[in-house]
A and B are shown apart, each in its own frame.
Chain A
Amino acid sequence: MSKSDLVLRAKKVRKEYGLTVALNDVDFDLVRGKVTTLFGENGAGKSTLMKILAGIERPTSGSLELDGKDISFDSPTEARANGISIIHQELSLAPNLTVRDNMFLGSEIRSLGSRVNYAAENEKVREIMKRLQHDIGPDEIVGDLRLGQQQIVEIARALASDARILIMDEPTSALSNVEIEILFTVIEDLKAHGVSIVYISHHLEEALHVADYIYVLRDSNMIATDEAKNVDLPGIVRMMIGRDGAGSTAIDQKTDQVVLELKNLTIADPANPARLAVDNFNLKVHAGEVVCLYGQMGAGRTELLETIAGRLSQISGQILLNGVDIATLSINSRIKAGVALVPEDRQRDGLVQLMTVGHNIALSSVGDFVKKFIMRTSPEVASIEQKIKDVRVKTSSHKSLITSLSGGNQQKVVIGKVLLTNPKAIILDEPTRGIDVGAKAEIFQLLSEQAKSGLAVLFATSEISEAMASANRIIVLSKGHVTAEMDPKKVSQSDVMAAADEKTSKLRIGAGA
């Protein structure tokens, strides 16, 4: 590639958050009219790099060069004025406004004075929607649209700003296969118009398919860059995870006793009821077994686990705990029956931030300490202190505020709370999200110990190394379907990742589902 083809260059870009290095002197070049795909595991630094390019974050050191000239952005608006637009992973639309108002928010087309020229805006919306082959009118309220349609609006907004550089961070996570195909034609069309695209997706096959150039990030470092035609999927997976990860350390202590059994479980997507989040799912978890549910974002992991816990309700199917169907019970009764969830987002769903460590641990089992309507403090404190010891929470006292603990210790508190209810099966959603490496190992050690004493453990993760190292069995979930069931001792990481990435979506979309 000649130098004049480079639209945007990031040189030795570094980003630190406190003591953590999110990007370690990374170089990144973007070629005019081409798609550049950025690969990397969760937390590798992809989103951070994109935020720097889009002016949302400022690098700690390093420089950006646009069309050969040094440049720095103080705000997303400034980046947009220079032709750089970002389509966010999380939708950032105002649901109460119309499609048109969202698309031109902050860059309204004005006629004389400060009046908004709605006619011109409407015309442009129709033109862009035609290009995207979608029938979404300018006056439709965004909140009334399906999630997939909202994502189209998000893309349309980026197109409306006449971007020369378009960053797509997980643009397809809510799109159907048909919609993805349309998006790819739009991308081809944009390339022909000289627009450069940065593409990020958890669906590796799809991401490699659209790519002209690839970059791989691993642990905040840029590991490799190449033309897409020179690499294949297994090669990219190897670069992402770094050689072969550690082998399984999980001990086989499985018994023959089935504790948790899911039969033909079908669950609607809570964000889009016409879509199925999980389709006809079957699973048996035995006492002493640690089962991992591996899948990418949107695979249906969270929906499945929340249905088992009772927060969501299934369309059909059974949830058997020791042979008894608990699928119609309340959350409270399910906890009493012996199944409890450690949720994915512990700040939002796991902890009461205003309470002490002890009160958080006791929250699910306070009823056990009551005698004649009054709660007895000494047995409660004794149980709490025992659990603090069991799960190895580092805290000066059970009376400390929960917010004074580190993320890993907070997570141990949530696990302690669940264990205090004497569960028969424990389910965990991304149990190591946002906690440091040491605490991660400790948490899986803990789960293994609990399994040894007869607990059935089911956890969901999107981190392949975790799935390989900690589970006795891996169930691979992709778009609501089981695509493989594997023994981590007998397969490689890339096998598992490839299974999760398979385009097997047979989910029926629409009212007929």
Chain B
Amino acid sequence: MSNQVSKSTKNIFDGFTFGKLLTEGRAFIALAVIIVVFASLSPNYLNLSNVIVMTRHVGLNALLAIGMLLVILTAGIDLSVGSTVGLSGVLAGFMLMQGIQIPGTQTVLYPSVWVIVVLCLGAGALVGLLNGVLITRFKVAPFITTLGTLYVVRGTALLIAKGETFNDMTGKPELGNTGFHVLGLGKFLGLPTGVWVMIVVALVTALLLTKTVFGRWLYALGGNERAAELSGVPIKRVKIWVYTLSGICAAATGLIIASELTAGAPQTGQSYELNAIAAVVIGGAALSGGRGHIRGTLLGAFVIGFLGDGLVIVGVSSFWQMVIQGAVIILAVALDEAQQGSKKKQKLAKVAAEK
């Protein structure tokens, strides 16, 4: 009887047992340590309101990191996401404040907020599409391509904004374009909109990775590109899609930030790409591709966010914050490498024992 019970629990939690979480999830351990340490240092750390604020910060990085995970699964990298964050906010500000002038006429169109959102996401998709096409058709290495677009996109954002910030992005009732603040400042069931966006995107992407052909192709492509190609995986199409999705995620992040601040600054998002990469890597993904999942990436984003905010709350100087964050990234990855090594040894020992 008890045997049966244990069997059925095993089925329910197939591949997701608590023990597995402990041994596999270095990000989980790191997060637990961070929470315990900061909760004991500051009584306000685990305040519900503080947790929600921190989660809102996490949500922004997580959104970027989810896009980055898709790219990294194909053994690529997307350095342009930080710039796309800036571009997206600036575009939203431009359309909200100055409208779109129809060429050759005096008519100025003020699109409503949902149109602005769609157009900004479209702009992010275009940046990603450009990355994807350069990488697949012109065979420029992902690092170089996205390093280039990092500059191009940031420059474009600065050009559009003429180097200035669009302030007070609330819209005007007579133009019918109010409501932009909802994205960043709105709440639903006590959680900020941004957190909901993160949750929905994470769920959809998890589904995409585990339950669709696209997901299977992604892992195959990252695991062995030549074999995937010979097996009929349309590798160029998959790669272009991956960068496009990453661009969309970045644009969404830019919109949420601009909405929170009701301001679109062209400098927004500088070095965000590095935080996103860090979250993905802490979450157990391999930069060489084919290994990684949403669960880990979210945990990675929480580690970075909860650590950063914790350090601020405790009052550590910003210089030390950088030192500590860098050390945590290295430590987390070094631990994983050691653990992968011991796993390999165990497997070898098993094979040897069978012989």
Taking beta carbons and an 8 Å cutoff, which residues of A are in contact with B?
309, 311, 330-332, 335-336, 340-341, 343, 348-355, 359, 362-364, 366-367, 370, 373-375, 404, 417, 421
The answer on a CB contact under 8 Å between A341 and B223 is: no
The answer on a CB contact under 8 Å between B213 and A355 is: no
Q: In the complex, what residues of A have CB within 8 A of residue B222's CB?
A: 354
Q: In the complex, what residues of A have CB within 8 A of residue B228's CB?
A: 352, 363
The answer on a CB contact under 8 Å between B233 and A363 is: yes
Q: In the complex, what residues of B have CB within 8 A of residue A330's CB?
A: 234
Task: For the complex, give the distance between the alpha carbons of A364 and B212 in Å.
Answer: 14
Known: A335-B232, A363-B216, A374-B212. A351 touches B347 (CB 8 A): no
Task: For the complex, give the distance between the alpha carbons of A335 and B230 in Å.
Answer: 9
Closest to A331 in B: B232
Closest to B228 in A: A352
**Interface size range on B against A:** 20 to 34
The answer on a CB contact under 8 Å between A332 and B212 is: no
The answer on a CB contact under 8 Å between A351 and B227 is: yes
Q: Which one of A331, A404, A421 lies within 8 Å of B229 (CB-CB)?
A: A331
Known: A373-B212, A375-B212. A352 touches B227 (CB 8 A): yes
The answer on a CB contact under 8 Å between B232 and A355 is: no
The answer on a CB contact under 8 Å between A351 and B224 is: yes
Asked if B226 lies at the interface with its beta carbon under 8 angstroms from chain A, I say yes
Asked if B291 lies at the interface with its beta carbon under 8 angstroms from chain A, I say yes
Task: For the complex, give the distance between the alpha carbons of A74 and B219 in Å.
Answer: 43
Q: In the complex, what residues of A have CB within 8 A of residue B347's CB?
A: 404
| B116 → chain A closest CB, angstroms | 29
Q: In the complex, what residues of A have CB within 8 A of residue B219's CB?
A: 352, 354-355, 359
| B154 → chain A closest CB, angstroms | 33
Given known contacts A363-B216, A366-B213, what 13 new A-B pairs fall within 8 Å (CB)? Answer: A331-B230, A343-B227, A348-B224, A348-B227, A349-B230, A352-B219, A352-B224, A352-B290, A353-B224, A354-B223, A354-B291, A355-B223, A355-B290
The answer on a CB contact under 8 Å between B211 and A348 is: no
Q: In the complex, what residues of B have CB within 8 A of residue A331's CB?
A: 229-230, 232
Q: Which one of A348, A352, A375, A404 lies within 8 Å of B213 (CB-CB)?
A: A375
Closest to B229 in A: A331
Asked if B220 lies at the interface with its beta carbon under 8 angstroms from chain A, I say yes
Q: In the complex, what residues of B have CB within 8 A of residue A404's CB?
A: 347, 351
Closest to A336 in B: B232
Task: For the complex, give the distance between the alpha carbons of A363 and B229 in Å.
Answer: 10
Closest to B344 in A: A403
| B183 → chain A closest CB, angstroms | 27
Q: Which one of A350, A354, A366 lies within 8 Å of B290 (CB-CB)?
A: A354
Task: For the complex, give the distance between the alpha carbons of A311 and B228 in Å.
Answer: 12
Task: Write 26 A-B pairs (CB below 8 A) sorted by A numbering.
Answer: A311-B230, A331-B232, A332-B233, A335-B231, A349-B226, A349-B227, A349-B230, A352-B220, A352-B228, A354-B219, A354-B223, A354-B224, A354-B290, A355-B219, A355-B220, A355-B290, A359-B216, A363-B216, A363-B231, A364-B231, A366-B217, A367-B213, A374-B207, A375-B213, A404-B347, A417-B231
Closest to B210 in A: A375
Q: Which 6 interchain pairs have the tightest Cβ spacing?
A: A352-B223, A354-B223, A332-B232, A335-B232, A354-B290, A364-B231
The answer on a CB contact under 8 Å between B230 and A343 is: yes
Q: Determine the main DSSP class of A at the interface with B.
A: mixed
Q: In the complex, what residues of B have CB within 8 A of residue A363's CB?
A: 216, 220, 227-228, 231-233
Closest to A310 in B: B230
The answer on a CB contact under 8 Å between A374 and B211 is: yes
Q: In the complex, what residues of A have CB within 8 A of residue B207's CB?
A: 374
Closest to B350 in A: A404
Q: In the complex, what residues of A have CB within 8 A of residue B224's CB?
A: 348, 351-354
| B42 → chain A closest CB, angstroms | 41
| A326 → chain B closest CB, angstroms | 13
Closest to A333 in B: B232
Q: In the complex, what residues of B have CB within 8 A of residue A355's CB?
A: 219-220, 223, 290
The answer on a CB contact under 8 Å between B290 and A332 is: no
Closest to B289 in A: A354
Task: For the complex, give the distance between the alpha carbons of A404 and B228 in Å.
Answer: 20
| A398 → chain B closest CB, angstroms | 14
List B143-173 residues whose CB lies under 8 Å from chain A.
none
Closest to B211 in A: A374
Q: Which one of B220, B226, B234 lies within 8 Å of A348 (CB-CB)?
A: B226
The answer on a CB contact under 8 Å between A350 and B230 is: yes
List B226-269 residues whose CB lies under 8 Å from chain A.
226-234
Task: For the complex, give the distance between the alpha carbons of A359 and B215 in Å.
Answer: 12
Q: In the complex, what residues of A have CB within 8 A of residue B220's CB?
A: 352, 355, 359, 363
Closest to A355 in B: B223
Closest to A309 in B: B230
Task: For the complex, give the distance between the alpha carbons of A348 and B227 in Å.
Answer: 7
Task: For the complex, give the distance between the alpha carbons of A429 and B228 in Å.
Answer: 17
Task: For the complex, give the distance between the alpha carbons of A351 and B216 in Å.
Answer: 14
Q: In the complex, what residues of A have CB within 8 A of residue B290's CB?
A: 352, 354-355
Task: For the complex, give the distance between the alpha carbons of A349 and B224 in Å.
Answer: 8
| A321 → chain B closest CB, angstroms | 15
Closest to B347 in A: A404
Closest to A362 in B: B216
Task: For the complex, give the distance between the alpha carbons of A366 and B210 in Å.
Answer: 12
Q: Which of B212, B213, B290, B291 has the most CB of A within 10 A?
A: B213
Q: Which of B222, B232, B347 has the most CB of A within 10 A?
A: B232
Q: In the complex, what residues of B have CB within 8 A of residue A309's CB?
A: 230
Task: For the complex, give the distance between the alpha carbons of A208 and B127 in Å.
Answer: 63
The answer on a CB contact under 8 Å between A353 and B223 is: yes
Closest to A351 in B: B227
Q: In the complex, what residues of A have CB within 8 A of residue B212's CB?
A: 370, 373-375
Task: For the complex, give the distance between the alpha carbons of A363 and B222 in Å.
Answer: 13
Closest to A350 in B: B227
Q: In the complex, what residues of A have CB within 8 A of residue B351's CB?
A: 404
Q: In the complex, what residues of B have CB within 8 A of residue A311's CB?
A: 229-230
Q: Which of A309, A332, A336 has the most CB of B within 10 A?
A: A332
List B176-220 residues whose CB lies under 8 Å from chain A.
207, 211-213, 216-217, 219-220
Q: In the complex, what residues of B have CB within 8 A of residue A335's CB?
A: 231-232
| B349 → chain A closest CB, angstroms | 13
| B316 → chain A closest CB, angstroms | 39
Q: In the complex, what residues of B have CB within 8 A of residue A340's CB?
A: 232
| B346 → chain A closest CB, angstroms | 12
Closest to B217 in A: A366
Task: For the complex, give the distance between the alpha carbons of A155 and B238 in Å.
Answer: 44
| A486 → chain B closest CB, angstroms | 30
Q: In the complex, what residues of B have CB within 8 A of residue A370's CB?
A: 212-213
Task: For the complex, give the distance between the alpha carbons of A351 and B211 in Å.
Answer: 21
| B289 → chain A closest CB, angstroms | 9
| A19 → chain B closest CB, angstroms | 8
Q: In the complex, what residues of B have CB within 8 A of residue A353's CB?
A: 223-224
Q: Which of A363, A364, A367, A374 has the most CB of B within 10 A?
A: A363
